[in-house]
Structure 1
Amino acid sequence: MNTPLSRRTALQAAGATALAAGLSGLTATAARADDDNSAPKLVTYPRPSTMPTNTSFKVRVRTAPDGDWATLDIWRPQLEEINATTGSGKVLNTSMVYFDFQGCVEIEVTYLKGGTTKARVRPDALGIKPELGGDTLVFTLDEPRDVVVQINDEIFDCLHVITNHIDPNPPSADDPDVLYFGPGVHTVTGNVLTVPSGKTVYLAGGAVLTAQVFFKDVEKASLTGHGMLYGGPGGVLCEGSKNIRVQDVIIMNPNGYAGTFGESENVHVRKARSFSSKGNGDGFDVFSSTGVVFDGCFMRNSDDCFAIYCHRWDYYGDTRDITIQNCTLWADVAHPINVGTHGNTDAPEVLENLVIKNLDIVDHREPQMGYQGCIALNPGDSNLIRNVHIEDVRIEDFRWGQVIHMRVMYNTKYNTSVGRGIEDVYVKNLSYTGTHANPSLFLGYDADHGIKNVTFENLVINGLVVADSMKKPKWYMTTDSVQWYYNEHVTNLTFLTTAEAEAAAQ
């Protein structure tokens, strides 16, 4: 059914039955405590019957310690694995549940295929140790977090648990400034929903919109709610727009990027989640934009989770003031974060003032050496990357790739000129624990296109604090201690302990 935007009342009616079912997810404790904003509460949402499911798990949740159990509907994101011999991609099914809560919840997960010998809840930095009995594990969350439950180290046949705070002030479906989609599956003509200035697209919990949301030359518009964008030509497309907000939505299995932001300004993306399996299935890509913040996102993608560029296609101009923070990243293909590939050889551009902070990178798999790096700074097309601050990044043992990769490049597949350089990069409190990392590479192109002024403070590799002052043979480079490499076109590469950095700052 094609649904005109003006028929919000029809959208309400279509979702009324599903909404009633979802409200059954309110625990008895919450129902008795409507007037107590601090009381534990739980809200679950039904999966529309036409949406695909997966059968590996049974999941129940309740408010701790003794609320009524609610069984959650299982959703089926799809993921991709690349065959390193043929280059072909294999699409694999995985599982996801989502719900909202206040207080503390207990989650019970049963692996229906049996044979469970171990269970893990990631990111590891959260310190969640599930109680395992047979094929059932139990763990608690004391605030909304997005986590992955792995059984027997399964990479794809795992469970993604997506959680939100309960929305205290959801918009009214009758609000003339709201394009409201209630629970159920919705389509729009042409599979693209164009959002006017000043309007909010609201996807209620349990809503599925099979379309791309398009912000074109608009201001003060938003996409919010605890529902889902599914399929469509892409997730979010934002061009030439200002003061745009995207919050809480799940973007599942798009036929393109989860989000494209071109020639836009002051964009805030908070707690968006993305799953992809298609070729070039990037998460969020930024082109020639200023003041873009990604905060609290969970990204599992079949290409770069985040890609930050200048000119490409019809987007022109510098990219600056970009922040990626408080996110969890899982790149089944390519990079968790990639910066600098695309630019304008005829009118060189700059990528500057980038902040990458408080991240958990749980996986990275890329067989091609030139496209590795949990964080990659790769200027091509006469781009200059400068003023980059990376802090509090925790990297778990990924499958295939590098911890960090900095290379001034001329990749003839994508570039028409060599990048101008990389300068003024500060990396603080980056840690990696694992055994699968290839050597990290720092490669200037030549004397005129180099890398300069890169400082690591408190770099920790498998528990070893890497510093120029560390004990080593006097003829060794500091990077030899962790099997990293830099060439002769890298100048002023420094490794400090925290104490040394603090002393130098005085």
Structure 2
Amino acid sequence: MKYTNFIFSNSFRLFSILLMGIMLSAGENLYAQATDIVTYAAPEGAKLNDTYSVMVRQNNGDWQLVPSYNVMVDEVAGTNHNVRNCSMAYFDFAGTVDVKVIYNKGTVDKAQVRPLSYDIKHSVNGNEITFQLDCSQNLSIEVNGDIFNNLQLFANPIDTYRPTSKDLKRLKKDSNYIYFAPGYHKIDRLTVGTNQTVYVSGGAIVDGEIVVDHADNAKVLGRGMIYPYRKKGLIVSHSSNVKIDGIFTTQTTVSDSHDVSLNNVKVMSYYGWGDGFNVFSSTNVAYTHVFARTSDDCSSIYASRGEHHGGCRNIMMEDAVLWADVAHPFTVGLHGDAKRPDTIEDLFYKNVDVLDMKEKQIDYQGVFAIIAGDNNTVRNVTFENIRIENFREGKLFDIRVANNKKYCAAPGLAIENINFNNISYNGDRAELSLIIGYNESRKVKGVHFKNLVINGEVIYDKMPGKPGWYKTSDMASIFIGEHVEDVTFEK
């Protein structure tokens, strides 16, 4: 099927947009499908990167070319931030697919396909890397140790939301359905209202922000890119029953909202304060099968801040890959309203791979950073089945009731019932971890480690080789400071 673009003005609110029509064009190849593979041609005006050529096939059929886009990441050298070019490619498939990555800049002396826990077997022949996939994966392919000029490859499931030509004939009459056809779309801000759906097709780039605002039952779907370069691409504010699925963007923020799901969403940023998945003052937010490579925190959960008011409850992230070029993979609790204490509670993270972190500032180093400020209480947080690769700089755990005077008007009130189950770290760069309360009335209570594995060794009270006069935390390089109660280590 081949479509021309719907026509949009460059700056608008969603409720005022009318679909202008659908036209069939026999000469325009917008996507290709063979068996159970869908690839999408790059639109005119897209910034491409020729470092890698990506090809896919099934059943020993013909190879199909997958476009490699140029995206940007942040390399910190010393205290300087340097913008680096990186490659990104995506396709959809079902079943099993062969992938060939050709490195166009020289010979491949060594290659990695990460996350390492996926154990994807690959072969190298000259400048070619080949491997197979049998399920949707968000991957980093790295040649000769280069983690910046790498390839971020997003192997998506088949898009079940993509409209057929018959669907589009019907939907062009529906002002609540907004379709971005394959192509380059420059906008300022698109505001999504109640009962409205935005579909960004594979092969489409939306250069601008999409904002779900004061809406109920809204959706942003597709395989395309919402890529405004130096801004948040997707914002959900004061809304409920929102579904985001399949999109690649720069940042997402969920604030003052409830019942929001983000599935198969990929974010990459390179600029200052480029957080990935932000949550403010929201309830019932679920992230599944997501990817973040960011120039600030990958996943952050806060209470009141600015125009956002209230705590957070019932936030879940499952099946994720996180890469913090700066700051934290996970951070919880710093921001709130010191005059109206908030609670952040019932958070659950499961099955996550942390690929990297680099942060020199001591206050912002933890892979797991639970730092209560602004009279916030943080409680009932569980991390389960988290695998951490050898990051460049930072610490594993930073759990503190603290008064960060740069960002907070008061210290936090409490941190309670934090659970780490099946956490593994393989590496040699982790600095001293911290668990510290603030005073006798602002404590950390109940931090429980079960099956904490560091470089293959389980850390628990009766572990072999631990001198009797050592604290178990010493074996994990964790400092347990004042005003902390009930820290346990179990096998």
TM-score normalised to structure 1 length: 0.90
Deviations 1:427-468 (A, max 9, x none): 100000011111211111122212111111100000000001
Deviations 1:22-68 (A, max 9, x none): 43x322xx2xxxxxxxxxx11100111311111211111111x3121
Compared CA separation, residues 16 and 484, structure 1 to 2 (3 A): farther
- Residue in 2 that maps onto 1:115: 107
- Residue in 2 that maps onto 1:334: 327
CA apart distance, 1:16: 5.1
Instruction: Give 1:21's aligned amino acid.
Output: N
- Residue in 2 that maps onto 1:311: 304
Instruction: Give 1:8's aligned amino acid.
Output: L
**Which structure: greater strand fraction?**
2
**Alignment map for 1:487-502 (pairs within 5 Å):** 487-497=481-491
SS across alignment from 1:370: helix
- Residue in 2 that maps onto 1:239: 237
Are 1:80 and 2:74 matched, yes or no?
A: yes
CA apart distance, 1:7: 4.4
Correspondent of 2:146 among 154, 159, 167: 154
- Residue in 2 that maps onto 1:345: 338
C-alpha distance in structure 2 between counterparts of 1:417 and 1:311, whole Å: 13
**Alignment map for 1:17-36 (pairs within 5 Å):** 20-23=28-31, 25-27=32-34, 30=35
CA apart distance, 1:484: 1.7
SS across alignment from 1:479: helix
SS across alignment from 1:382: coil
Q: Is the 8 A contact 1:16 1:182 kept in 2?
A: no
Q: Is the 8 A contact 1:120 1:129 kept in 2?
A: no
TM-score normalised to structure 2 length: 0.93
C-alpha distance in structure 1 between counterparts of 2:124 and 2:475, whole Å: 39
- Residue in 2 that maps onto 1:185: 184
Specify every segment of 5 or more residues in structure 2 that has no aligned partner in the other structure, as ranges: 1-7
Q: Is the 8 A contact 1:93 1:156 kept in 2?
A: yes
Q: Is the 8 A contact 2:161 2:221 kept in 1?
A: no
Deviations 1:147-198 (A, max 9, x none): 110111111011111122222352333421311111001133xx11011100
Identical positions, percent? 37
SS across alignment from 1:103: coil
Instruction: Give 1:452's aligned amino acid.
Output: K
C-alpha distance in structure 2 between counterparts of 1:343 and 1:240, whole Å: 17
C-alpha distance in structure 2 between counterparts of 1:287 and 1:167, whole Å: 29
Q: Is the 8 A contact 1:16 1:183 kept in 2?
A: no
**Which structure: greater helix fraction?**
1
RMSD: 1.6
Deviations 1:2-37 (A, max 9, x none): 357634345x44x9578x4243x322xx2xxxxxxx
Q: Is the 8 A contact 2:421 2:449 kept in 1?
A: yes
- Residue in 1 that maps onto 2:134: 142
Are 1:71 and 2:65 matched, yes or no?
A: yes
C-alpha distance in structure 1 between counterparts of 2:64 and 2:252, whole Å: 33
Instruction: Give 1:52's aligned amino acid.
Output: K
Specify every segment of 5 or more residues in structure 1 that has no aligned partner in the other structure, as ranges: 31-40, 253-257, 498-506
CA apart distance, 1:199: 0.6
- Residue in 2 that maps onto 1:55: 50
SS across alignment from 1:374: strand
Instruction: Give 1:226's aligned amino acid.
Output: R
**Alignment map for 1:463-478 (pairs within 5 Å):** 463-471=456-464, 472-478=466-472
Q: Is the 8 A contact 2:100 2:130 kept in 1?
A: yes
Mean CA deviation greater in 331-340 or 473-482: 473-482
Correspondent of 2:89 among 82, 94, 97: 97
Q: Is the 8 A contact 2:55 2:100 kept in 1?
A: yes
- Residue in 2 that maps onto 1:43: 38
Deviations 1:224-264 (A, max 9, x none): 01111011642111111111111100004xxxxx1111110
C-alpha distance in structure 1 between counterparts of 2:451 and 2:481, whole Å: 22
CA apart distance, 1:332: 0.4
